[in-house]
Amino acid sequence: MTGGAGRPSIAETVQITDGFLRHAGRDFLIVFYTALRSLKLYPIENDQVQKALDDLAASTKHLLEVEKELEVRLQSEFIFVNSTRLRLDLDNYASFSHILSVFRQCGVGAVRIDEGVDRRQLQIFASLLLSYAAKEASPSVTLELGQKLVDAGVSFISIEPPLETEEDMEEEERQKEAAKRTYARSVAVTKEVINSIRLGRTANVKKVKRAVQAIVDQVLNNEASLVGLTTLRDYDEYTFTHSVNVCIFSVALGRKLGLSKLQLYDLGIAALFHDVGKSRVPLEILHKQSGLSDEEWRIMQAHPWLGVLTLFGLRGYGEIPYRGMIVAYEHHMKTDLTGYPKSVRPRSPSIYSKIVAVADGFDAATSRRTYQTVPIQPDEVLKEMLGNPRRGYDPVVVKAFINLVGVYPVGTCVILDTYEVALVHSANPDVSEIHRPVVRIVATHDGAILHPGFLADLAQRDAQGSYPRTIVKVTDPLRYGINVGDYFV
């Protein structure tokens, strides 16, 4: 393209660089993390270390070629690369938190890497960081480390101490970030536990307890931040994100229904483990693409009581998790007992099971899974849960749930009468306006995708007293090339 007309505008250029930095910056941190880890585990001659250092050098070179400078800065819980804040998500969670803690331990607030840096300097820097990270943190450590870099002839890398004030971080942002970390950690812990159970190893239940406590605390503090994250469902790790989502929904729902904090802990653990019996169902059946045979369904439907058995076998629980067992056993029973396992005698499922059943039903129906490639839209799911008694949910619990997530739950993709496409950002606090949430417009009427888009309160009327924007229908965001997760990070 030649001439001024073809050039991107300044705003576009900013967006392009921003996108580049977000990817290249993230890649850089991941290779940096790999280098740190392999240097820690193996001697320098090791192939893995050599490969990691090659990757690190290549990634640094690539960034410097485009950006001419490279600065990695920590601010509060965030990592910035050349002033672009990197997004934390499930696959970079481990590397980001590791780098955060190594930098903190070494008293490093920012690292500057300039053109001319080579593989050797990067290696010395990584090794020095490792040796300082192992020491007690002290205020003089930054100076010492800086001096060591100079002594070793590392002239293209310099470090700075952390900024004194971190108060400029907005409280809301901070909470969002904390919620995201709780979420990512819970998924990691759940994965660890379920995998150990599957392999017949001892599972670390204490970690699960801590993760659930963090979820309860966060829900009690700021419900919206964590509940909003349950929209990040598009991961392959359905089993684990599903358990965490059900846990978050259940705790938030339990709170609405007036449970005490201790009860919420119990409920949270029970919810997280509601499908634990699936760890005894063969993976071929669990992940099967096409319809299950009768025999396979029978095995799938055994997961409630297999869950009870598994919970019996979990060590480190302290007390026997009766509540968890009941929930694992009852969560598919339905209020009229037409579900499974079949009950021989009349019984009334516990309130814990009814809560988990609603959370479970909603999350399962709105997710994309192996045997359900198209998720059903959240509002349809809620309508069905409330309106169809054969689904067997407790209507009081479903109503409380709708009250919690709104008729259009956060993250729902909607088409407006202006032909714009929007994502639900938050429910309208006024119940009489429950059909008019605050949305983020993410695509213009002619289909151009906006990022980050802008917020619009659908309950707001114009000067004539009419609503400028109204939801017409719910749609599948993928049809518009919209990745919901991108707007909630």
**Where does this chain bind Fe ion (CB under 5 A)?**
275, 360
Q: How far is the CB of 40 from Fe ion (least distance, A)?
A: 38
Nearer to Fe ion, 77 or 275 (CB): 275
CB of 364 to Fe ion, least distance (A): 6
Nearer to Fe ion (CB atom), residue 266 or residue 275: 275
Per the CB < 8 A criterion, the answer to whether 357 and 243 are in contact is no
Judged by beta carbon, residue 307 or residue 411, the one nearer Fe ion is 307
When the beta carbons of 275 and 330 are compared against Fe ion, the nearer one is 275
Nearer to Fe ion, 358 or 443 (CB): 358
Residue 372 C-beta: closest distance to Fe ion, Å: 13
Q: How far is the CB of 332 from Fe ion (least distance, A)?
A: 6
Q: Which residues contact 326 (CB under 8 A, 6 or more apart)?
A: 270, 350, 352, 353
- Residue number with CB closer to Fe ion (53 or 358): 358
Nearer to Fe ion, 240 or 408 (CB): 240
Instruction: Please state the closest distance from residue 131 (CB atom) to Fe ion, in A.
Output: 46
Provide the minimum distance between the beta carbon of 399 and Fe ion in the complex, in angstroms, as a whole number: 21
**CA distance linking residue 400 with residue 410, whole number of Å:** 16
| End-to-end CA, the chain | 34
HEC secondary structure over the chain = CCCHHHCCCHHHHHHHHHHHHHHHHHHHHHHHHHHHHHHHHCCCCCHHHHHHHHHHHHHHHHHHHHHCEEEEEEECCEEEECCEECCCCCCCHHHHHHHHHHHHHCCCCEEEEECCCCHHHHHHHHHHHHHHHCCCCCCCHHHHHHHHHHHCCCCCEEEECCCCCCCCCCHHHHHHHHHHHHHHHHHHHHHHHHHHHHCCCCCCHHHHHHHHHHHHHHHHHCHHHHHHHCCCCCCCCHHHHHHHHHHHHHHHHHHHCCCCHHHHHHHHHHHHCCCHHHHHCCHHHHCCCCCCCHHHHHHHCCHHHHHHHHHHHCCCCCCCCHHHHHHHHHCCCCCCCCCCCCCCCCCCCCHHHHHHHHHHHHHHHHCCECCECCCCCHHHHHHHHHHCHHHCCCHHHHHHHHHHHCCCCCCCEEEECCCCEEEEEECCCCHHHCCCCEEEEEECCCCCEEEEEEEEECCCCCCCCCCCCCEEEECCHHHHCCCHHHHCC
Q: How far is CA 107 from CA 100, 243, 304, in A?
A: 11, 37, 50
Please identify, using beta-carbon distances, which residue of 278 and 425 lies nearer to Fe ion: 278
**Cβ of residue 398: shortest distance to Fe ion, in angstroms?**
17
| Residue number with CB closer to Fe ion (67 or 360) | 360
Name which of 177 and 275 has its Cβ closer to Fe ion.
275
- Cα–Cα distance measured from residue 125 to residue 362, given in angstroms and rounded to the nearest whole number: 49
**In which region does residue 422 sit, left (phi positive, over 0), alpha (psi from -120 to 50) or beta (all else)?**
beta
- Which of residues 360 and 394 has its CB atom nearest to Fe ion in the complex? 360
The distance of closest approach from Cβ of residue 323 to Fe ion in the complex, given in angstroms and rounded to an integer, is 16
Residue closer to Fe ion (CB basis): 226 or 328: 328
Report the distance separating Cα 381 and Cα 252, nearest Å.
Answer: 19
Q: How far is the CB of 328 from Fe ion (least distance, A)?
A: 8
Q: Taking the complex as a whole, how short is the minimal distance between the CB of residue 242 and Fe ion, in angstroms?
A: 6
Q: Least distance in Å: CB of 361 to Fe ion?
A: 8
Min separation Cβ 277 and Fe ion, Å: 8
